[in-house]
Chains A and B, each alone.
Chain A
Amino acid sequence: MEILVCIKRVPTVGGKIAVTADGQEVDTRASGFSISPHEECAVEEAVQITERDGGSVSVLTLGPEAAIEQLRGALALGAHRAVLLETDGREFGPIATAAVIAAEVRAHPYDLVLLGNEAADTGDYQVGVRLAHELGWPVATGIKNLSVADGGVVARREYRGVEEAYSLPLPAVVTVKEGINLPRYPSLPGRLRAKRAPVDRSAPDWAAEGLRKQALRVPESSQHQAEVLGEGVDAVPLLVRVLEEWGVLS
């Protein structure tokens, strides 16, 4: 099975998120970068499939040159080949992103393309679906369990307490969510191999879209400080009274 996994370089945010003075980007002066979480699981899933059934895993990112760090991270997890679609720092919208990934897929005989259900930063929830339409392939999204059988895949997710199973013929696009697996830690030999591996590079053209970002901001309501009811078990009577006032005790 030949698998392509699409990943995105996103800031690693811990206890706080801030925006640059011009309101255009997340302030990353004090943060590192990582693979968007759903996509790290997509890499792990692809590596597990090829370890079991053979084939190879290519990993692709659309991003600045610095995103090679995340490609190498995916190679260290067991991916075999890396593709950088280099941007000049401008954000590609979901329509353009799907189009440039489709061009890579048309140039190689992939059986399966895996993506994250949504990128942690932009949260557009659509690149995988648009890619599938570009290619004329079937697509399943938000998948938490994937199995390969008889020239197809069965992709499962849960919705409102019901398990949904989707049987897709290959080639297909599947977007996954964290929880589909627990990604491994990269091995030392894996990291060494990743360091030396070549990266295929090209630079697609940016294109304008009908949805245009004006500015980013932190929601106002998210900044305040809790009133401390007390310390340890001494606070319990007051805690019970608050729960009574809120009407959560039956």
Chain B
Amino acid sequence: MTALVLAELDDGEPADASLRSLSLARSLGDVSAVVFADAVPQDTLARYGVTDAYVIETSALDGYAPQAWARTLAGLAAETGATAVLAAGTDRGNEVLAHLGAITGLPMAANCTLVTPDEGRTHRLVRHRWAGLLLEDAVMEAPVALFTVATDSVAAVSAETPASIQVHVHKPELDQADLVVRAAESPAGAGGASLATARVVVGGGRGVGGPDGFAPLEELAGLLGGVVGVSRVVTSEGWRPHKQQVGQTGTKITPELYLACGISGAIQHIAGCAGAKHIIAINTDPGAPILAHADYAVVGDLHQVIPALVEALRARRTP
């Protein structure tokens, strides 16, 4: 059995979400990776157990084209006899696998946390519903299992022993129609992207009180080398731009530390921050739902606690 994994790159190395997909893929058989780039991060892929890497050189596609990427995966899956094709549950991963599902007429399960081969052509799987607030146990019956891997649940773990890897340059067969929709890329303003990968996020909710209350949070985030995220009420009130929203309909974060300030913890918000390694809540209400998801809590007014914390961190820096 062979699992074919779409590996997305971040500065030339596999993205964290793709390492998580590769880790899950090893439980399904031999692992092949598909990389849309001119250079392959060969060593990292080998460490994660990849035996065959297929390179799709950029000259073949000229940028991100979701349907063309899916057509390429469909061709490679047929050629290699893959029994599963998977990608990370990112915007691109879910989009490409949706196209692959449509091209092949096969079902596709988004944001899985566990996939186990069963008898015949079936796989048992667990997937996110409600952005991970609920889990669905499901059965997939299909000649090739198509799915994406939740970005905040499966751990990235390298193989016990690195694989010996072979790199193949692959030329996809594409229709003109596959290239109609293509991304024209340009640098975006700061915000959303750094939120998704930040090591520390300082979150502000209704308790911040208004658009003028975020300066202490920004200052704290700066001291901790992190960024500010906000709850849905903050963006729907127009206090902060939507790209700073942490939640089911905003950005999912996976920081080392999430400091949730004046955030009650509606489950739409929990869906976005549950992937944090540690959560601390600062809230005036000891009964706020966020406390059921936090490691520690400070019961108090963020307008007093945060300036005091900023002062303590500054004092610590200047002995």
Q: Which residues on A are within 8 Å of B, measured CB to CB?
A: 13-17, 19, 26, 37-38, 93-95, 98, 118, 120-126, 128-130, 132-134, 136, 138-142, 144, 157-169, 177-179, 182, 209-219, 222-233, 235-237, 239-240, 242-243, 246-250
Contacts and interface: CB of A to CB of B under 8 A. Distances in A.
Contact of B182 (A122, A133, A166): A166
B305 A15 contact: no
Contacts of B257: 243, 246, 248
B129 A122 contact: yes
Contact of B135 (A125, A166, A169, A216): A216
Contacts of B130: 13, 17, 26, 120-121, 123
B91 A142 contact: yes
Interface of B: 10, 15, 64, 66, 89, 91-92, 94-95, 97-99, 101-103, 105-111, 128-142, 148, 177, 180-188, 190, 192-194, 196, 199-200, 224-225, 235-236, 238, 241-243, 245, 248-250, 256-257, 264-268, 270, 274, 278-281, 286, 289, 291-301, 304-305, 308-309, 312-313, 316
Contacts of A209: 107
Nearest to B65: A166
B249 A37 contact: yes
Q: Top 3 nearest A-B pairs by Cβ distance?
A: A179-B242, A161-B193, A126-B98
B186 A15 contact: no
A136 B105 CA distance: 14
A248 B224 contact: yes
B94 A125 contact: yes
Nearest to A178: B249
B182 to A, nearest CB: 7
Residue among A136, A159, A227 having the largest count of chain B Cβ atoms under 10 Å: A159
A26 B236 CA distance: 26
A235 B196 CA distance: 29
A interface SS class: mixed
Given A141-B95, A211-B138, A17 B250 contact: no
B39 to A, nearest CB: 18
Contacts of B235: 179
B132 A219 contact: yes
A209 B142 CA distance: 10
A62 B278 CA distance: 40
Contacts of A26: 130, 134
Residue among B264, B268, B291, B296 having the largest count of chain A Cβ atoms under 10 Å: B296
B136 to A, nearest CB: 6
A225 B224 CA distance: 25
A213 B136 contact: yes
B101 A228 contact: no
A67 B137 CA distance: 26
Contacts of A231: 298-300
Residue among A167, A226, A237 having the largest count of chain B Cβ atoms under 10 Å: A226
Given A214-B139, A230-B298, A141 B187 contact: no
Given A13-B130, A158-B188, A233-B305, 6 more contacts: A17-B130, A134-B102, A141-B94, A214-B136, A235-B305, A246-B278
A166 B308 CA distance: 47
15 contacts: A15-B266, A94-B101, A123-B111, A126-B108, A162-B188, A163-B186, A179-B243, A210-B142, A212-B138, A222-B274, A222-B292, A226-B280, A226-B291, A239-B309, A240-B309
B127 to A, nearest CB: 8
